[in-house]
Amino acid sequence: MPELPEVETIRRELAPRISGQRIRTCRVLRPDIVSYPTPDKFCRGLKNDIVREVTRKAKYLIIVLVSGKQLIFHLRLSGTIVVRPRGTKPERFTRIALSLDNHELFFNEPRVLGRAYLIENNRTAGMPKGLLSLGIEPIAPGFTTQYLHDHFKKRKAPVKAVLLDQHICAGVGNIYSDEALFHAGIRPTRRAFRVTRRETGRLVRTLKNVLKKAVRKFGTSVGDYVRTDGTNGSFQDLLYVYQREGLPCRICRTEIKAMKIGNRSTRYCPKCQKS
């Protein structure tokens, strides 16, 4: 699933290419990909509007239009946004096709889990519920040791599960929670309330570092995620545990193990993450 670094990469690449562009036409090729409003109203609401800016909140990509409307994409498991030359035909898994002044913008989603929303002038009607209840992003100044430790103290769940809670760690998913816990030396199964303040501080630092480095490397391409030009990110070359089960740890050479926590696959090093 695209996480904060992947969606931030898309945002950074889209902004200079489509800002100021008029949406000439809109085609919804898979009606159930539009969560709000109806597909017909969705297209009518976009036609002839102009892109003002491209923003992001956690895993949500938000295209703000001159009219004040917000075009929101939730990429979910396999959604991607690609930009092609004007006149390019939709691709195999294109679900929404927008023709702009100089480009075609395609929302591609092979599994049809991602969703699109067109929200009127900052109203909450139709807004995805997850977007309204986000916690703080780890790369934000407000994500401090005190903030995270206060949440840890209240939770008996495994620390990995707490990191995946979007009400607490907005934008973090399986990839970066595994990587941050490895670099912090914390076992994913540790009960959150047992993580000390000092350990929490170390985890906050590693989480920030991992996310920022992943943004610099244009995200992690281990599934369907690609950048807006269709090329891969490169952070997958720097992973220490994610999808490396059965391989030797890059630090101690111990075999990386995998387990399930809350129905989510989790990877860790038994030696580097002793407790």
Instruction: Answer yes or no: is 196 within a domain.
Output: yes
Per-residue pLDDT tens digits for 77-95: 899 999 999 999 999 999 9
Same domain, 8 and 126: yes
* Shared-domain flag, residues 160 and 124: no
Other CB atoms within a 10 A radius of the CB of residue 142 amount to: 10
What mean pLDDT do residues 158-179 have?
A: 97
Average pLDDT over residues 193-199: 97
Alpha carbons 68 and 139: distance in angstroms, whole number: 27
Cα→Cα distances 131→58, 79, 152, 219, 228, Å: 8, 17, 22, 21, 23
Regarding whether 99 and 21 lie in a shared domain, the answer is yes
Catalytic residue positions? 2-3, 59, 264
How much is the average pLDDT of 130-149? 97
pLDDT > 90? residue 223: no
Q: Is cis: bond before 2, omega within 30 of 0?
A: no
Question: Whole domain around residue 81: which residue ranges?
Answer: 4-130
Give residue for tokens 């490397």: 217
Looking at the chain, which runs of residues are DSSP E strands? 23-28, 34-36, 51-57, 60-65, 70-74, 80-85, 94-100, 103-108, 115-119, 257-261, 264-268
Q: Is residue 274 part of a domain?
A: no
> Is the same domain home to 150 and 117?
no
Residues 249 and 226 in one domain: yes
In a domain, 137, yes or no: no
Determine the pLDDT at residue 188: 98
pLDDT in tens, 207-219: 999 999 999 999 9
CATH assignment at residue 49: 3.20.190.10
What are the structure tokens assigned to 261, written together?
Answer: 């926590």
pLDDT > 70: what percent of the chain? 100
What does the pLDDT read at residue 274?
A: 87
* Average pLDDT over the chain, rounded to an integer: 96
pLDDT of 69 higher than 80: yes
Residue 165 within a domain = yes
Is there a single domain that holds both residue 82 and residue 12? yes
Instruction: Report the CATH number at residue 236.
Output: 1.10.8.50
CA 98, CA 245: separation in Å to the nearest integer? Answer: 40
Give the per-residue pLDDT at 123: 82
Residues 117 and 170 in one domain: no
Residues 6+ apart with CB under 8 A from 181: 159, 160, 163, 187, 188, 203, 206, 268, 273
Q: How far apart are CA 85 and CA 87, in angstroms?
A: 6
152 and 113 inside one domain: no
Number of domains in the chain: 2
- Residue 216 lies inside a defined structural domain of this protein: yes
Q: How high is the pLDDT of residue 255?
A: 98
Average pLDDT for residues 150-166, to the nearest whole number? Answer: 97
Same domain, 184 and 251: yes
The last residue of a domain, from among 102, 130, 158: 130
Closest CA to 108 of 79, 74, 71: 79
pLDDT of residue 124: 86
Do 37 and 119 share a structural domain?
Answer: yes
Contact 192, 159 (CB under 8 A): yes
Domain boundary among 70, 101, 130: 130
CB 77 within 8 A of CB 110: no
Q: What is the mean pLDDT of residues 24-49?
A: 97
Q: What is the pTM of this model?
A: 0.95
Name the domain boundary from 130, 161, 190. Answer: 130
Is the domain of 108 the same as that of 155?
no
Is residue 154 located within the same domain as residue 181?
yes
Q: What is the pLDDT of residue 23?
A: 98
Asked whether the beta carbons of 160 and 177 are under 8 A apart, the reply is: yes
